[in-house]
């Protein structure tokens, strides 16, 4: 199967660049039968961004299997916080204090701890989510005050242009705030992200594209 070949090639490529980079297989719009092949191959990290689809695909499986890490990589909506907290182990898109406080309350209620990346809008694109770079320090302080486990930073560069400078900036910010993890790089730029310190890359179409 082509997607399995793609998966193994990409995983080998990532390992050749860095043993410290984790591959998140983005499985939105993918049938669970394909996902199951990857789980049986030993893969543990998967990314989703739509709650209804996530629930339909993963809810029953996750009740009986704790070895999979599910990463939320979409835009956080306050009315979905409880459901997101129930299903996901990692959230890559935390970017406002309202959602941070809601997630903190949900963690107290559920007794479940989640690992968080703060999304930073380095290119200041109005159509994208993410906190402003100049507001990052105060936001990290408020998140930690709410006992959220902030492990790193995430960014999504503009579609056009070389993302290298933005990746370097995100790495510098993470080092400045003593955060060890970097979620950056997708199907079109994961190699450059790894070269600039990514510890998590989010890859979907490069794996599941059958062409």
H or E element, residue 58: helix 51-63
Rounded Cα distance between 67 and 59, Å, is 14
Structure tokens at 172: 């510098």
Show the tokens assigned to 83: 């459901």
When the candidates are 3.20.20.10, 3.40.470.10, 3.30.70.890, 3.40.630.20, the CATH number that belongs to 2-208 is 3.20.20.10
Q: Which two tokens stand for residue 52?
A: 């209804």
**pLDDT at residue 48, as a whole number:** 98
Decide: 181 and 117 in contact? Cβ < 8 Å: yes
Residue 55 is classified by DSSP as H
Measured distance CA(202)–CA(163) in Å, rounded: 15
SS3 label, residue 12: helix
pTM of the model: 0.96
3-state DSSP assignment of residue 34: helix
Residues 64, 119: Cα–Cα separation, whole Å: 31
One digit per residue, the tens of pLDDT, for the chain of length 211 reads 899 999 999 999 999 999 999 999 999 999 999 999 999 999 999 999 999 999 999 998 888 887 899 999 999 999 999 999 999 999 999 999 999 999 999 999 999 999 999 999 999 888 889 999 999 999 999 999 999 999 999 999 998 889 999 999 999 999 999 999 999 999 999 999 999 999 999 999 999 987 6
102, HSE (Cβ side, Cα atoms, 13 Å): 16
């Amino acid at each position: 199967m082509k997607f399995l070949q793609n998966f193994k090639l990409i995983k080998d490529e990532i390992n050749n660049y860095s043993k410290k980079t984790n591959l998140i297989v983005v499985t939105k719009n993918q049938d669970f039968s394909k996902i199951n092949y990857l789980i049986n191959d030993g893969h543990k990290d998967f990314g989703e961004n739509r709650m209804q689809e996530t629930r339909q695909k993963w809810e029953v499986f996750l009740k009986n299997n704790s070895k999979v890490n599910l990463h939320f990589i979409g835009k956080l909506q306050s009315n979905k916080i409880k459901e997101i907290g129930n299903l996901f182990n990692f959230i890559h898109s935390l970017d406002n204090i309202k959602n941070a406080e809601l997630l903190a309350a949900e963690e107290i209620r559920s007794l479940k701890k989640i690992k968080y990346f703060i999304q930073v809008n380095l290119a200041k694109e109005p159509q994208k989510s993410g906190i402003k770079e100049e507001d990052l320090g105060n936001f990290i302080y408020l998140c930690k005050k709410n006992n959220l486990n902030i492990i790193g930073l995430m960014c999504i560069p503009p579609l056009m242009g070389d993302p290298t400078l933005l990746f370097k900036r995100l790495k510098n910010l993470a080092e400045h705030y003593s955060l060890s993890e970097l979620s950056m790089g997708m199907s079109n730029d994961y190699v450059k992200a790894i070269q600039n310190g990514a510890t998590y890359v989010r890859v979907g179409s490069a794996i599941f594209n059958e062409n």
